[in-house]
Structure 1
Amino acid sequence: MDVIVICKLRDRRKAQGLSQRDLGALVNIDHKAIGNYETNKTKMNILTAAKLAIVLNCKIDDLYEYRRN
C-alpha cells in the first residue's frame, strides 16, 4: 500500500503566531530546517517531531496527515 505523509507543521506554527525563526529558536533547530519540514523537502525524525509537538502543545500525530496514494 502506498501512503502519502503530509506535514501540517505550518498550520500548527501559524496558529500559535510563530515565525519559522521563532519556532526554530524554541527547539534549537535552524529556521531553514523548519521550512524544509513544512514543504516536505525533508522528513523530520521522531525526536524533532516530539520537540515540536511539545512546543506547539499538540501530539506528534497532529503534525501529520496520512493519505493512501
Structure 2
Amino acid sequence: MQIKEVVLAGVDASLETALMLERKANQLLFATRDQKEGMQAFIEKRKPKFEGGGLKSEVQHLYSTKV
C-alpha cells in the first residue's frame, strides 16, 4: 500500500483509524530497498538508483529469492 492510498482511505475514517493506517504504511514503506538506497545515497552524497515499485515490489522480491 502506498502512502497516497492510505491518505485516500483515511479521509472517511476516524482520526484514530487514519493515524493508525498512516503509522502502519510508514513502517512498511520504511523497510523497502528504495528507502535504504535513498538513505545510503544521501550519506554518500550521490544520486540514488531507485528500483521503484514500493511495497509490492518488495514482497515480490522476497518471494522470488526464497528457495
Normalised TM-score (structure 1): 0.26
Q: Which has the higher strand share?
A: 1
Q: Which has the larger radius of gyration?
A: 2
Higher relative contact order (CA 8 A, sep 6+): 1
